[in-house]
Chain A
């Protein structure tokens, strides 16, 4: 019998048979195995759980409990590695090499000031403000190869990193954002879609004020004259010629800074951004203006 005949035969059989439905399907024969009761040496045992008591009931004790002994985790003297961990701020690292890579791949536009929002937009960096992470710590990996003239704002930077950026004629600022503003910077689109007014940025907590008002760390609350002095000092320390920013064609871009109360570049607190109709709502009321500018 040729294969053609088989096909025709099976097709004709299919036509005469009833349709397959949930009502007439069943398992393949012998595909289900019934579990059998064991009859060998350990057939009727208790599966290692013993006879009677908390063992049989699988009543597991809490972690570290040693049934009345002084538990191990309490027996050793305490060492306070993590004392105050719930109060410490964390700054997840972002390297200069990664920064140079996203500049090379055009994932970040260096003709405009770079801040945490534009670095997150590139997709290479992420952080979680709800886990006490307060933004970017720019680290020194790849600082020898770094060669881009940028105006960057990060949350934490070491002296070497500041030197690496200023050597190339760039500008670096360290700025503090409170967790609420960081949520906005992490996902600005989501915030704009929520239809809320852009809030004010809060001032840093007492233990961070020293860092963010210091000219050595290029804090955003530091005196600009002090910063220009420190720039010169750092150039002398690391032995490079400080490029003159005043004569630079991108002088305006390099001088662009946010207000200490501002979260996004160019957008004032109190404004509402409407992405659907492409319009911005600016408050006119005196009460609101006073509130958002305070």
Chain B
């Protein structure tokens, strides 16, 4: 209970517990009470709020606490603390959200597409020139990038029934495909087991 009321202004502080001494508030109006000299209080300027005294006296400065090391409730605390790393996915029978885990057989292919740290495929859509240019980008390709390029081109040609332009960046290990083909590319990657 650290919150102890402090008066907002010096004026109010003057009259705490002394309301009876204010002439109009005195119960016995017959007796005239001479106002006490208050110059010491009035002239006091505190350098900041923290240095000003409390209006009322605090009952206790220190409250009693029971200190328990590793109590049974500690599991509730651990539950709240953030992950140190992104958790690995435990295998399940079904994934109703539509997320598909990578398959082992993908490792035998001449090319490989690893998952990101969020367990997703590194296939993105880049929209530039106010939506006029859309480029699908496959990143972090390992192995034979040119073979992967040929397969993608073939797959997208079948799906779109037209030729699809791609750009292969061998050094930076990515392929850019002209147009929004992200869903088809993800579909293709899932069929390959990535």
Contact = CB atoms under 8 A, between A and B. Distances in A.
A265 B89 CA distance: 25
A279 interface: yes
B66 to A, nearest CB: 5
A234 B158 CA distance: 47
A60 interface: no
A109 B88 CA distance: 13
Nearest to A99: B97
Contacts of B86: 107, 123
A48 B86 CA distance: 57
**How big is the A interface, by class?**
35 or more
Nearest to A272: B65
A11 to B, nearest CB: 32
Contact of A281 (B65, B76, B82, B83): B65
B92 interface: yes
B63 interface: yes
A118 B79 contact: yes
Contacts of A183: none
A147 B96 contact: yes
B81 A283 contact: no
Interface stretch (B14-22, B42-50, B67-75, B123-131): B67-75
A164 to B, nearest CB: 12
A265 B79 contact: yes
Given A121-B80, A284-B66, A285-B64, A105 B1 contact: no
Interface string A132-152: 000000000010011110000
A103 interface: yes
Interface in B86-133: 86-90, 92, 95-99, 118-119
B71 to A, nearest CB: 5
A104 B92 contact: yes
B77 A267 contact: yes
B59 interface: yes
Interface in A236-254: none
A45 interface: no
Contact of B1 (A106, A279, A287): A287
A235 interface: no
B77 A107 contact: no
Nearest to A103: B97
What does DSSP make chain B's interface, helix, strand, loop or mixed?
loop
B89 A105 contact: yes
A266 interface: yes
Contacts of B74: 278, 280
Contacts of A266: 73, 75-76
Nearest to A113: B79
Given A107-B87, A266-B73, A291-B1, A282 B65 contact: yes
B66 A281 contact: yes
Interface string A188-204: 11001000000000000
Nearest to A146: B96
A283 B99 contact: no
B80 A145 contact: no
B59 A104 contact: no
Nearest to B59: A287
Contact of A106 (B73, B81, B90): B90
B95 A104 contact: yes
A227 interface: no
A199 to B, nearest CB: 11
Given A97-B97, A265-B79, 6 more contacts: A101-B99, A104-B92, A280-B67, A280-B73, A281-B68, A284-B64
Interface of B: 1, 59-60, 63-71, 73-77, 79-83, 86-90, 92, 95-99, 118-119
Interface of A: 97, 100-101, 103-107, 109, 112, 117-118, 121, 123, 142, 145-148, 188-189, 192, 264-267, 272-273, 275, 277-285, 287-288, 291
What 9 A-B pairs are tightest by C-beta distance, nearest first?
A266-B76, A100-B97, A188-B80, A101-B97, A279-B69, A281-B65, A285-B63, A284-B64, A282-B66
